[in-house]
Structure 1
Amino acid sequence: MTVSPHHVLRRPSPNRASHVAFGLAGTFALLVGTAAPALADTESAGTADLAADIDELLADPALEGATNGVVVRSLSEGDVLYESEPGTALVPASNTKLLTSVAALEVLGTDHRFTTTVSASDQPVGGVVEGDLHLTGGGDPTLTVGRYDELAADVAAAGVTEVTGDLLADDTLFDDQRLPETWDPSDEPYAYAAQVSALTVATDTTYDTGVVNVTVKPGAAAGDPVSVNVSPDVGYVAVEATASTGSADSAAGLSITRESGTNTITVSGSLPAGGGAQAQLTTVDEPTDLAAAVFADALEENGVEVHGEVGRAETPQDAVRIAESTSAELADILVPFLKLSNNGHAEMLVKTIAQETTGEGTWAAGLPEVEAALNRLGLKTEGVELADGSGLTRANKIPAEVITELLAVTREQPWSDTWESALPVAGNPDPMVGGTLASRMVATAAAGNVHAKTGSMTGVSALSGYVTTADGEELVFSILNNGYTGAAPRPIQDAIAVRLAEFSRDEATAGTPEPVAPLLAESRSASSSYDVPEIESIERLDELECTWAGAC
């Protein structure tokens, strides 16, 4: 394969015998080799050495046929240390979330909160609401079952004991388009492609929205049926289980899916007798109605009787507010959003941005407003095409140089530290710190140093963020790999990031890396899988951008 990078600094061709050695767990050490030959006055030994090493990594057979947009830029010195295909618009996968989150901070501010309200059609008299009770969504991506229960308890604490009419859910802050047009319909059952609503339910720890948790346990002996539990269990979904218990030495082979347009979840396959349970987040159709069902159940548990039905309607302007639930600040919500690469949060933020700026909670209004917000910050968005806010569509296009410029301009904003701290941190095992980089670059110069956003789809992988060099120089970088045919080239991205962490302008730091392709299979497993309590990854999630419920 021929690699044609476009370096800003000219250099002779070094000839060195040093290499990058990779460990079996996806970690690696950079070893100093023989000295490089004399260099031109326009570049340092360290700069030429860095460029040669990145060239070699991008020439690895694992990237054969790929287009690689790579830019490394110094924030300290202001120069570009390396670039290859910098202006080529490439599919960014979840690096799209960098743009969405920055736009949200610019439009909404770090202190923005999302409010969900409960109102009555008339002032309650003697604890009775004569008429309907309205549950109005405010686009909160973190409204858990527990918070719905607290909201119901607040209604009861306000003295309400009875509602003669209906419980009506209002999700009209956003439009009723649940999924972007360019998303693959076959992804719809999976948590990373959940439907979007201004009134939804979030899971307790990962804040995935519009999903239920399906847990399947094997029977006591081979041939026994499996047991299936759904949470929240409010009767919103039906389960058709044909799965059975296999022999103790059989392999687990379980499928949990949902047909589009229905709320029937099908569980098939088998689990070995004596084996552990398997669980998976599965999306629902019409998440607004799930939210209403959860709240209806919470009202009953808190002693509030609703005589009518559970349905949907817009809240009257003169409705009397009874209670409300307010989210944490956007600054705090960014942590699960970016650390865990939550697609639903991104899409809800796009529609919130649209509602805030245009009065219309739609993708059609929101996506242009994302670009407009970035432009106001001084970012030029030539070559940028946005069809969603999360990066699950292949219709998004962003050049690597735009991403590094974004990383640079955010440093000028008062919320810069808040945003950067919400990015995953390499090698930190805490999910709310390391996020999607928890198991990558462990025990290297990049661990605890690199703050970066991942991105992954079949044939698309990305890593962009910040790193501090061995000399304390602050760099931004973006790596966009499109069109490879094998495993995700995360070890190559990690090697580049570690190389940047060990970079010194004054001396050659490493040398020509040895090919990493033979280690891709082992490294990929170690660098992209996470132990998540009670959640089992489904097979396809390793090749798709998703939330913490799978792997990114």
Structure 2
Amino acid sequence: MRRLAETGETGETGETNRSHKPRRRAWTWAVVLGVLVAGLGWSAPAGADPGTSGLPEAIDTILGDSRMEGGAASVVVAEAASGDLLYQHAPTSRLMPASNTKLPTSAAAMEILGPDHTFTTDVLAAGRRHGATLKGDLYLRGTGDPTALAADYDSLAAQVAASGVSRVDGRLLADDTRFDRNRLGRAWAADDESSYYSAQISALSVAPDTDYDTGSVIVEVAPGAAAGDKPKVTVTPKTTYVNFDVRATTVAAGGANDLTVEREHGTNTIVVSGTTPVGGSGAQEWVSVWEPTGYAAAVFRDALTAHGVQVTGATRLGRATPATARRLASHASMPLKDLLIPFMKLSNNMHAEILTKTMGLKVSGEGSWSAGLAAVSGYLKGVGVDPGKLRQVDGSGLSRMNNLTAGQFAKLLLAVRAEPWYAAWRTSLPVACAPERFVGGTLRTRMCGTPAALNAVGKTGSLTGASALSGYVKDADGRELVYSIVLNNYLAASVKPLEDAIVVTLARSTADATATVKPTGPGARSAERTTDLECSWRKPARC
């Protein structure tokens, strides 16, 4: 039996390799194909043997499904405790991993920043105090907190008022200089610009909800009272930083509800168009803002006013805080080990990119994508993954330029088990069929009614023509397995059922050649069939 750590990244043909079967134990596959057909939406290709066969043959059969015709697959399975390689198909083929890119990003962040790392947002004063008046500028300084809510900026304003300042004869200066000025990642799609999952990255921003979708606002559109009325539009948090061009019309009850809510390029004008019927549901959309630093400054300035603090000067962005400035207020985020839960469970792209730039700042003093990705590469090299044989251009996997292999993901999943922070990191992975959003995450509707339910954990990934699932699952003997499945270039609406079938196969497998496994449960609820994007990216929450 070969160990994954010994296979390296060279000399593989890319074909399924069965030479590594155990000499002493034979794997069996006793999955009843009818269960997979009914429960996971997978059916065996014509001519497939429905009886018991070896694990490699079972996975090969699943990969032979017609939905993968013309596509590409990279799949690796290994025993977690020993590192023994149990199955591989094209283990060194570099494919687009989508959000599986968050696996190296999150692991590197736990190592480089530490599980207890927090982001601080401070308010500082430059100038002299004359009673309740500050003769000078007020600075709002961020370090990248992706969880900062409007309520947190309100708390900062309350602290300023409590310090005795009620008037600032100066400007409000927003210090986002911990990060560079590059707001969007490399090769991010232009048509995603107003989508919250493609929000701009800044060291100062605001999240509108406790999913912590930083850099976005929530727009709600409700129909008017009568046909012909303009719909009513509200925004969360309440702010004038964005404005609305309402072109939509209310139509009679029973009419079409086809609203579109989209921000115009380069502006904070959100256009609402289409129709919505009287008494209808309207629409709710998460929309990114243009220039999140200004968004944070606007929300903070409104909070200052609400707490009786008047700032006479203008707001200016991107100004570094002088070393002589005095702190008046401070807010700390949750620690990284807790931040990983919304980050990984809901596959939050903005968290990944902020962590990437923060790693760059920590390692090289430069809060940029290039510095951060160099830090991730350094971590990967340290755990035996050659960064010279992969391409990672962002932290989240939103870019279609990322290329990694199932073999590299499997190596990483094996290596992190030895890290002191592994337990907290593993807890952040979505859990199959766990119904709570912050437990099941993007797997909460998948593999239900199978031995993988509440057993398999893993990171999902979805973009058009790219799907991935990598993580851990226990087999029927209770042994933990590491798996990585990366599928690309398919034309089917979804290949998630194939991923699920592989993981369920692993969960049903046993190393005892005499063991039998009978199907249990009513069958599995299947993943959504439209998977151009992660299910958690389609708001309101779909998973």
- Would you say same fold, with TM above 0.5? yes
CA distance in structure 2 between the aligned counterparts of 1:250 and 1:508, rounded to whole angstroms: 62
Give the superposition deviation at 1:263: 0.9
In structure 2, what is the Cα distance between the partners aligned to 1:421 and 1:455?
18
Answer yes or no: is 1:151 the counterpart of 2:162: no
Are residue 83 (structure 1) and residue 88 (structure 2) matched? yes
Counterpart contact for 1:95–1:454, Cα < 8 Å: yes
| C-alpha distance in 1 between matches for 2:227 and 2:515 | 59
Which amino acid is 2:18 matched to? Answer: H
User: Is 1:544 aligned to 2:533, yes or no?
Assistant: yes
Task: State how far apart, in whole Å, the 2-side matches of 1:180 and 1:62 are.
Answer: 31
Q: Tell me the alpha carbon deviations over residues 274-328 of structure 1, each in whole angstroms, 9 at most, x when there is no partner.
A: 1123211001110100000000011111111111112222211111111111011
Which residue in 1 is equivalent to 2:527? 527
- Number of the residue aligned with 1:315: 321
Q: CA deviation at 1:437?
A: 0.7
Change (3 A) 1:504 1:213: same
Paired position in structure 2 for 1:534: none
- 1:542–1:272 Cα change, 3 Å: farther
Instruction: Count the aligned residue pairs.
Output: 516
Provide the rounded CA distance (Å) in 2 between the counterparts of 1:144 and 1:28.
Answer: 43
Q: Does 1:202 align with 2:207?
A: yes
For residues 18-57 of structure 1, what are the structure 2 equivalents within 5 Å? Answer: 18-22=32-36, 26=40, 36=52, 49-57=54-62
Q: Deviation above 6 Å: which 4+ runs of structure 1? A: 11-17, 27-30, 508-511
Aligned residue among 337, 345, 354 for 1:339: 345
Structure 1 residues 18 and 169, CA, compared in 2 at 3 Å: closer, same or farther? closer
Shift in Å at residue 29 of structure 1? 12
Q: What amino acid maps onto 2:352 in structure 1?
A: A
Distance, in Å, in 1 between the alignment partners of 2:116 and 2:180 is 25
Residue 255 (structure 1) aligns with: 260
Counterpart CA distance in 2 for 1:465 and 1:221 is 52
Do the aligned partners of residues 488 and 27 (structure 1) sit closer, same or farther apart at CA in structure 2, a change above 3 Å counting?
closer
Whole-Å separation in 1 of the counterparts to 2:358 and 2:285: 28
TM-score norm. by structure 1 comes to 0.88
- Aligned partners of 1:178 and 1:195 also within 8 Å: yes
* Residue aligned with 1:88, SS: coil
Return the match for 1:133 from 138, 141, 161: 138
- Identify which of 72, 76, 80 aligns with 2:77: 72
Q: 1:28 to 1:502 in 2, by over 3 A?
A: farther
Q: 2 CA distance for matches of 1:70 and 1:15? A: 17
Q: Alpha-carbon deviations, 1:130-176, whole Å to 9, x = none?
A: 11100001111110111111111111111211111111101000001
Aligned equivalent of 1:42: none
Contact 1:25-1:527 within 8 A present in 2 as well: no
**Aligned equivalents of 2:168, 2:207: Cα separation in 1:** 26
Does 2:492 match 1:504? no
SS at match of 2:442: helix
Alignment of structure 1 residues 59-458 onto 2, 5 Å:
59-312=64-317, 313-458=319-464
Relative distance call for 1:307 and 1:13 in structure 2 (3 A) is: closer
Unaligned runs of at least 5 residues, structure 2 = 1-13
- Checking the alignment, whether the CA contact within 8 Å between 2:27 and 2:512 is kept in structure 1 is no
Equivalent residues of 1:14, 1:52 under 8 A apart: no
2:130 is paired with a residue of what secondary structure? coil
* Aligned residues of 1:178 and 1:197 also touching (Cα < 8 A): yes
- Residue identity in the other structure for 1:372: G
CA deviations on 1:517-541 (whole Å, 9 max, x unpaired) are xx9xx97xx5138xxxxxxxxxxx8
3-state SS in 1 of match to 2:164: coil
In structure 2, the partner of 1:58 is 63
When residues 34 and 237 of structure 1 are mapped into structure 2, their CA distance, relative to the original with a 3 A threshold, is closer
8 Å Cα contact 1:28-1:444 kept in structure 2: no
CA deviation profile, 1:229-258 (whole Å, cap 9, x unmatched):
112222111101111123322232111111
Asked if the contact 2:460/2:468 (under 8 Å) is kept, the reply is: yes
Give the Å deviation of 1:123.
Answer: 4.6
Which residue of 2 is the match for residue 489 of structure 1? 495
477 and 8 in structure 1: CA distance in 2 versus 1, 3 angstrom threshold: farther
Structure 1, residues 340-376: CA drift from partner, whole Å, max 9, x if none? Answer: 0000010111100000111111112111111102222
Cα contact 2:21–2:86 (8 A) shared by 1: no
1:257/1:223 Cα in 2 relative to 1: closer, same or farther (>3 Å)?
Answer: same
- Residue 4 of structure 1 and its aligned partner are, at CA, apart by 4.7
Spell out, residue by residue over 1:62-104, the C-alpha distance to the aligned partner (whole angstroms, 9 max, x if none). Answer: 1111110000100134311111010111100000000100111
Structure 2 counterpart SS, 1:124: strand
What is the aligned partner in structure 2 of residue 478 from structure 1? 484
**Corresponding residue SS for 1:257:** strand
Could you report, residue by residue, the CA deviation over 1:6-59 in whole angstroms, capped at 9, with x for unpaired residues? Answer: 3343699999995242476648999xx9865xxxxxxxxxxx522221111100
Unaligned runs of 5+ in 1: 37-47, 514-518, 530-540
**CA distance in 1 between partners of 2:172 and 2:17 (Å):** 62
Give secondary structure in 1 for the equivalent of 2:527. helix
1:15–1:49 CA distance, 2 compared to 1 (3 A): closer
Q: Could you say what the CA RMSD is over the residues aligned between the two structures, in angstroms?
A: 2.7
Give how far 1:509 is off.
7.3
Counterpart residue identity of residue 105, structure 2: T
- The residue type equivalent to 2:16 in the other structure is P
- Matching residue's letter, 1:264: T
Contact 1:111 1:331 in 2 (8 A): yes
Question: Are the counterparts in 2 of residues 379 and 409 from structure 1 also a CA contact under 8 Å?
Answer: no
Task: Please say if residues 27 and 509 of structure 2, whose CA atoms lie closer than 8 Å, have aligned partners that are also in contact.
Answer: no
